[in-house]
Structure 1
Amino acid sequence: MCLKHDKPLELYCKTDQTCVCMLCHFSDHKMHDVVPLKEGYEGQKAELETDIQQMIQKRQLKIEEIKHSVDLSKEEADREIAEGVQVFTALKESVERGQANLTIKEKQKTTENQAEDFIKELEQEISELKKRSSEVEQVQVKGKTRWDLGVVRESINRKRAFQLSPEDGFWTIWLRDGKEYKAHDAPSVSLSLKSQPQKVGVFVDYEEGLVSFYDVDAAALIYSFTGCSFTEKLFSYFNPSVNGGGTNSAPLIIAPVRVN
């Protein structure tokens, strides 16, 4: 009902887009575009539906744009992730190579340090060996048929009978009858030599507990006392033995030589 004229609203004013009664049409809406209410309603409904459809289309287009933007963003994100993975992989490989190189350098440095330490130890040992300087004596036996040669402890009892054995402090070899050679070890050892030595070298390594006898000219080992325990000074021991009616008259000639 029209509130102004208390009449039914029968018309629709397109100009003002409002419902009016007949009296309103002839007074206030006389020059306006006025149609029956049902026609106006249908028209407005159509317009509204059109507007709604347009708004729906706009929003659908917006949705498609957003989806497309999301797809582009995802593709960009995937690309950036892939690039990031490549960069990270390259960086990781670089770091690993750096770490590997560092490890190799550290190993090389460790090896060099170990080598230096080992060289120092060897140089120290060489120095100690040079300081130690074992003695060699060349006690010449040419032309003799009997002799005793070797080394002896300082503390042996010279006033009583003794045996030429390591237990009594003797490390010696001897010649008898011009051909019988023997080392006075425990027990004694008969020596079989290819030739009769003309010069016998006596080598003593105090630290190693070693006494060795050599044929100097043949550069051949005659015999070695090993595992000896030296706790005091050692002295040369030699016995030219008896003359034997002139068969053993040749002298023993002693020639000390220092070997570094």
Structure 2
Amino acid sequence: YRTICPFLRKSWDTVDVTLDPDTAHPNLDLSKDRKHVSHGAWDPSNKSEGAEHDIWVLGAEGFIGGRHYWEVEVEGKIGWYLGVCRESVSRKRKVTLTPEDGYWVVWLRGGVYQALTSPPTSLPMSIKPSRVGIFLDYEAGEVSFYNVTDRSRLFTFTDTFSRRLCPYFTRQIPPSPCVCSIPGTG
């Protein structure tokens, strides 16, 4: 499978992201290889304030510097949230998924693609992505999202990072997002 920018392997760290079971919402099940997530048996006592974005899992890899790239399979999904967040984000209070609260996220929800800025930024889409590529340049303060299908940039957040950042994933509809291995990373 072609990645968006194979030449970037020389200047960016292509990351073989795995999901961190210690950060997974209690109603999520991770595959043995920690590449797929699905809904487990629903336990109402695990409900997180009723907000669907509270049902998330972080990547096991955290970054405090460097340039990193990974891809997520989204083909056939009608809803997803992807990006990075501060490792220190809290599940104990309701937050908005914006940079002000430590989230740099894009989503597909209700047929609309948006970058979760304040207010949200609509992302026009000529070709629906089957994979989304995520570039994190920590020192430059950039998180960029790409449609791997047509190699187009979806959005770039700019900010100043001072804390550890982790890949961020919520449940997808239908479930079972796949964190993709990039050729040459495992």
Assess, with a 3 A threshold, how the Cα gap between structure 1 residues 256 and 205 changes in structure 2: closer, same or farther: farther
Deviation at 1:249, TM superposition (A): 2.2
Quote the residue 1:234 is aligned against.
165
Residue among 253, 257, 260 paired with 2:178:
253
Deviation at 1:130, TM superposition (A): 6.7
Give the conservation status (yes or no) of the 8 Å contact 1:150–1:172. Answer: yes
CA RMSD of aligned residues (A): 2.2
Quote the residue 2:82 is aligned against.
149
Give the conservation status (yes or no) of the 8 Å contact 2:79–2:174. Answer: no
Quote the residue 2:104 is aligned against.
171
Q: Report Cα offsets for 1:142-190 as digits up to 9, x if no partner.
A: 111011000001121122111100000000000012x200100122101
Q: Report Cα offsets for 1:90-147 as digits up to 9, x if no partner.
A: xxxxxxxxxxxxxxxxxxxxxxxxxxxxxxxxxxxxxxx6786521111200111011
Residue among 125, 128, 137 paired with 1:193:
125
Give the conservation status (yes or no) of the 8 Å contact 1:151–1:237. Answer: yes
3-state SS of paired residue (1:167): helix
Aligned mates of 2:106, 2:132 — CA distance in 1: 10
Give the conservation status (yes or no) of the 8 Å contact 2:132–2:146. Answer: yes
Aligned mates of 1:258, 1:166 — CA distance in 2: 31
Aligned mates of 1:220, 1:231 — CA distance in 2: 28
Corresponding letter in the other structure for 1:230: F
Deviation at 1:251, TM superposition (A): 2.0
Aligned mates of 1:150, 1:233 — CA distance in 2: 14
Assess, with a 3 A threshold, how the Cα gap between structure 1 residues 161 and 258 changes in structure 2: closer, same or farther: farther
Assess, with a 3 A threshold, how the Cα gap between structure 1 residues 217 and 183 changes in structure 2: closer, same or farther: same
Q: Report Cα offsets for 1:210-253 as digits up to 9, x if no partner.
A: 00000112111011102x11001100101124xxxxxx325211
- 5+ residue gaps, structure 1, are 1-128, 242-247
- 5+ residue gaps, structure 2, are 1-10, 14-64
Deviation at 1:254, TM superposition (A): 0.3
Aligned mates of 1:130, 1:200 — CA distance in 2: 17
Corresponding letter in the other structure for 2:84: V
The normalised TM-score by structure 1 is 0.44
Runs of 4 or more consecutive aligned structure 1 residues displaced over 3 Å after TM superposition: 129-133, 256-259
Q: Percent identity?
A: 38
Corresponding letter in the other structure for 1:254: V
Corresponding letter in the other structure for 1:251: S
- Structure 1 position 159 matched with structure 2 position 159: no
3-state SS of paired residue (2:100): helix
Length, aligned pairs only: 123
Higher helix proportion, which one? 1
Aligned mates of 1:257, 1:204 — CA distance in 2: 16
Assess, with a 3 A threshold, how the Cα gap between structure 1 residues 258 and 153 changes in structure 2: closer, same or farther: farther
Quote the residue 1:140 is aligned against.
73
Give the conservation status (yes or no) of the 8 Å contact 2:70–2:133. Answer: yes
Assess, with a 3 A threshold, how the Cα gap between structure 1 residues 257 and 133 changes in structure 2: closer, same or farther: farther
Give the conservation status (yes or no) of the 8 Å contact 2:86–2:164. Answer: yes
